[in-house]
Amino acid sequence: MMKKETILVATMLFSMAVSATFVSAAEVYPKEYNTDGTITFEAGDEGITPPVDPEDPDPNVPVDPVDPPSPGTGGALSIDYGSKFKFGTQKISTADKTYYASADEMTDGSKKPTYVQVTDKRGTLSGWKLSVAQPEQFKTASGDELVGAQLKFTKGQAVSLVDPTYTPETVNSELTLTPGGNNTLAINAKSGTGVGTWVYRFGANENENKDAVQLSVPGTSVKLAQQYSTKLVWTLEDTPNN
């Protein structure tokens, strides 16, 4: 009797072992196990972002203007570049005249629409505001004013390779400056917009730019056979009009 019980127990143990083997063989595949990948960004460095092509503003393909002004402001929120507005040499006239700024010439011989470039590398999406002022009238080196002369910018556009979702809400297509007047708003990038590099250009290409930046001079204004010049002050603020 004892022998039979021993055989029965051994048989049961063997059966259980076989069953366990079958259960193990029935596991589900493939098996999944998760790991993490991380990267942390911080505000961009203090270096100056070089000017980009205003027709195709790719930061990976900078351009080289023939006659650039002073270097950009640098920093995480910066004005990188602004064209000089050259109205050439003109004949003195007693009639009202409008003159047009020439396109921005590059060292490779190409001509681009005049523009101002802003870059936001802060990583905060807090927005910004760009404005411009003309502190003084066009003057000669000795201080003689071009009385009544007025600067006007037309065909203003803000373009970037950044997702259009981040396009600034307010982009003024026309700006008329008053010498000695207050700042005139060019772009207002409210919170959540304006990230990356943006070009504020006057016309989409050289052809559109031909009559985009205008200098109107009344015929009654006394004109000396000399060069007249003025300065424009572009102001970038980190507090947009929200």
Mean pLDDT, residues 228-236 taken together: 99
pLDDT score of 26? 86
* Confidence band for 1, pLDDT divided at 50, 70 and 90: low
Residue 47 is predicted with a pLDDT of 86
pLDDT for 51-93, tens place per residue? Answer: 999 999 999 999 999 999 989 999 999 999 999 999 999 999 9
Terminal Cα distance for the chain, rounded: 95
> Is the CA virtual torsion 108, 109, 110, 114 positive or negative?
positive
Alpha helices of the chain — where are they, by DSSP H? 2-25, 206-209
**Rounded-to-integer distance, Cα 128 and Cα 151, Å:** 24
pLDDT at 99 over 80: yes
Q: What is the pLDDT of residue 130?
A: 99
Give whole-number Cα distances, 44 to 41, 49, 84, 122, 239, in Å.
9, 10, 27, 6, 19
The rounded mean pLDDT for the chain is 92
pTM of the model: 0.86
**pLDDT surpasses 90 at 113:** yes
d(CA 49, CA 208): 26
Q: For 171-220, what is each residue's pLDDT tens digit?
A: 999 999 999 999 999 999 999 999 999 999 999 999 999 999 999 999 99
30 preceded by a cis bond (ω within 30 of 0): yes
Reported confidence tier of residue 144, pLDDT bands at 50, 70, 90: very high
| Beta-carbon contacts of residue 100 (< 8 Å; ≥ 6 apart) | 87, 210, 211, 212, 213, 214, 215
